[in-house]
Amino acid sequence: MNRILKSYFYWTYPRGSFHYDVMVTLILAFIFITPQVWDYGDKPPATGGPRQPIQVLGDGGKGLILTVPASEVPIPARVTDYTMRRALKRAMQPVTGDAVSIERWELSRDANGNPLAWKVWLHK
């Protein structure tokens, strides 16, 4: 058994042999299956077009105030405190990362009542 493992490690089997085919199959399985199971963090943002900028301001203390365009935050079907926080965090993630805590948020609207931007108070 030790000899087989050493042979696999040093890749001593000739091309076309059973053990060679097993190693190639395992490598290909790793290459094609792990991205489906494992998040490598290398995926581009889900939105296709150019993104509107997220504005970041300090609140005078240890927190931040982010202004996120309303088009960047998909409103969940069932709006609860939890689902709204998740939608806002997902929109802000490229700027803030994962380790933020949202304190509160408010939606600003234009004169016709259309949503313009979310103002979000948070701290890391």
pLDDT at 45 over 70: no
Residue 49 counted as domain residue: no
- The pLDDT value recorded for residue 32 is 92
- Binned at pLDDT 50, 70 and 90, residue 54 comes out as confident
Task: Give the domain range for residue 29.
Answer: 2-37
Count of structural domains, the chain:
2
pLDDT at 76 over 60: yes
Give the burial class of 13: count Cβ atoms within 10 A of its Cβ; 0-12 exposed, 13-18 middle, 19 or more buried.
Answer: middle
CB 101, CB 123: distance < 8 Å = yes
Are 84 and 116 in a shared domain? Answer: yes
Percent of the chain with pLDDT over 70: 92
Are 67 and 95 in a shared domain? Answer: yes
CB 66, CB 58: distance < 8 Å = no
Are 114 and 68 in a shared domain? Answer: yes
What is the arithmetic mean of pLDDT over 23-30? Answer: 93
Residue 98 counted as domain residue: yes
